[in-house]
Amino acid sequence: MLLGFLAVMLLILTFVGYLTFHSVSTLLKNNAEKHIQQTAVQANGRLEGILEQINSLTTLVSTNEYIQQLLLRDVEGQPPTFAERQALPPIINLVQLYTDDIKSVELFCV
């Protein structure tokens, strides 16, 4: 009699344990998917903001009159002198004054 009772209880507890495990694992999986999706949306928004900031700051530097003159002369075949190149970092470093996210800026003439 006791053995039958234990067998029935073991069967019922196993079934209830399986149902509980299944429902909790499904709930955790759904919550994790929602959290990951929300994190991806936030990261995408942050990335778009940083890219927009980089775009506006590099436009600030590239539209500088001194830089425009140097680039135009370089395109015309007159590369800038060493002294003129030495004068560029303070202008280019204006970008770093406006944000902490940008660590360095390089200027290229193509």
Question: For 28-87, how does the pLDDT look when each residue is reduced to its tens digit (9 = 90+)?
Answer: 999 999 999 999 999 999 999 888 888 888 888 878 899 889 989 988 999 888 998 888
The stretch 19-34 carries a mean pLDDT of 96
Question: Does 104 fall in a domain?
Answer: no
Q: Name the residue among 35, 39, 36, 37 with its Cα closest to residue 47.
A: 39
Query: pLDDT at position 61, please?
Result: 80
Cα–Cα distance between 92 and 60 in angstroms, integer? 9
Question: Does 66 fall in a domain?
Answer: yes
The stretch 14-36 carries a mean pLDDT of 96
Angle at 54 between CA 48 and CA 56, to 5 degrees: 105
Backbone angles phi, psi at 23, to 5 degrees: -70, -40
The two three-digit tokens of residue 68, written as one number: 């425009």
pLDDT beyond 90 at 97: no
Cα–Cα distance between 86 and 83 in angstroms, integer? 5
Query: pLDDT at position 110, please?
Result: 64
The stretch 85-106 carries a mean pLDDT of 79
pLDDT beyond 90 at 1: no
pLDDT beyond 80 at 101: no
Question: Does 107 fall in a domain?
Answer: no
How many domains does the chain divide into?
A: 1
pTM metric for this prediction: 0.58
